[in-house]
């Protein structure tokens, strides 16, 4: 199915420009797509996203999710960025509906972006915080609005080959900064809690990986000494 061009507006702006673009979109536009300029959608992704909302009127919006791809010979800081993202993919990839939004791909019906729409998204973006996608996710959670994350909407995200530790630290600081920019105290508290849980899980995986790195060679070293471990004698060949 080919989509009429007047159904869709592609937003190539950010920040306050997003709202200016929404206001400038004509009444004949039915959908507005916010897409990062560095994503790589497959040829039929846009058409399928629209079909997803057309098929289910109960859906408030559709989103995608990124998958980090490190280049060959990438630095350790690059892999740390990848490891930070990996637990976040679980929320997007385990089912077709979620409570999370990725700002790199957000498809909404034009009417939901009107200043007088009951959902209040226009006001939240105008008066809210720093991150448009997290504000939108919090709004959908509070109002019980459904978000589609179809399995085809996965976008390769190529990481820098030689990221520095300074760049990695700057990235983490920005991730923590947005937690204090939500429009409600309940959303801020929820996301601070999620940040602590994510930090704990990341640390647990890191410690497990480090332990497996030195416990493996240690086990091979101790294998010829079973009596020391209380395992009895090794069978003779």
Per-residue pLDDT tens over the stretch 87-146: 777 777 777 888 888 888 999 998 998 888 999 998 888 886 667 888 888 889 889 999
Specify the pLDDT at position 59. 95
Q: What global pTM score does this model have? A: 0.72
DSSP letters spanning 76-102: HHHHHHHHHHHHHHHHHHSSSEES---
Q: Tell me, yes or no, whether 109 lies in a domain.
A: yes
Q: Tell me, yes or no, whether 183 lies in a domain.
A: yes
Q: What is the 3-state secondary structure (H, E, C) of 8-67?
A: EEEECCCCHHHHHHHHHCCCCCCEEEEECCCCCCCCCHHHHHHHHHHHCCCEEEEECEEE
Q: 32 — phi, psi (to 5°)?
A: -125, 130
In this model, does residue 214 exceed pLDDT 70? no
Specify the pLDDT at position 218. 53
- In the DSSP assignment, the letter for residue 184 is S
Q: Tell me, yes or no, whether 22 lies in a domain.
A: yes
Whether 132 contacts 125, CB under 8 Å:
yes
CATH number at residue 39: 3.90.550
Specify the pLDDT at position 55. 93
Summarize pLDDT for 48-98 with one digit per residue, the tens: 999 999 999 999 999 988 888 888 888 888 888 888 887 777 777 777 888
Specify the pLDDT at position 224. 52
Q: What is the pLDDT of the chain when averaged over all its residues?
A: 77
In this model, does residue 15 exceed pLDDT 80? no
Q: Tell me, yes or no, whether 136 lies in a domain.
A: yes
Instruction: Give mean pLDDT, residues 32-57.
Output: 87
Total domains in the chain come to: 1
Q: Tell me, yes or no, whether 100 lies in a domain.
A: yes
Q: Tell me, yes or no, whether 25 lies in a domain.
A: yes
Specify the pLDDT at position 216. 56
Q: Tell me, yes or no, whether 216 lies in a domain.
A: no
Specify the pLDDT at position 137. 87
Per the structure block, which two tokens stand in for 58?
A: 């109960």
Inter-axis angle of helices 76-93 and 165-177, nearest 10: 30
In this model, does residue 236 exceed pLDDT 60? no
Specify the pLDDT at position 119. 92
Q: Tell me, yes or no, whether 52 lies in a domain.
A: yes
Report the percent of the chain where pLDDT is more than 70.
Answer: 76
Closest CA to 202 of 112, 90, 63: 90
Domain containing 192: what range? Answer: 5-209
């Amino acid at each position: 199915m080919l989509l009429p061009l007047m159904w869709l507006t592609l937003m190539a702006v950010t920040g306050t420009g997003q709202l200016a673009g929404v206001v400038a979109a004509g009444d004949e536009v039915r959908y507005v797509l916010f897409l990062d300029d560095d994503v790589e959608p497959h040829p039929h992704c846009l058409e399928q996203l629209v079909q997803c909302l057309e098929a289910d009127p109960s859906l408030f919006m559709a989103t995608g999710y990124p998958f980090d791809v490190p280049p060959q010979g990438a630095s350790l800081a690059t892999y740390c960025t990848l490891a930070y993202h990996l637990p976040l993919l679980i929320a997007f990839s385990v089912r077709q509906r979620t409570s999370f939004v990725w700002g790199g791909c957000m498809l909404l019906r034009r009417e939901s972006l009107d200043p007088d729409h009951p959902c209040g998204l226009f006001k939240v973006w105008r008066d809210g915080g720093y991150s448009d996608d997290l504000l939108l996710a919090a709004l959908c959670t509070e109002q019980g609005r459904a978000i589609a994350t179809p399995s085809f909407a996965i976008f390769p995200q190529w990481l820098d080959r030689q990221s520095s530790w300074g760049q990695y630290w700057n990235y983490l600081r920005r991730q923590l900064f947005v937690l204090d920019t939500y429009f409600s105290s309940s959303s801020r508290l929820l996301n601070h809690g999620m940040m602590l849980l994510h930090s704990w899980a990341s640390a647990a995986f890191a410690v497990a990986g480090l332990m497996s790195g030195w416990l493996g060679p240690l086990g091979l070293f101790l294998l010829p000494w079973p009596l020391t471990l209380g395992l009895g004698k090794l069978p003779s060949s």
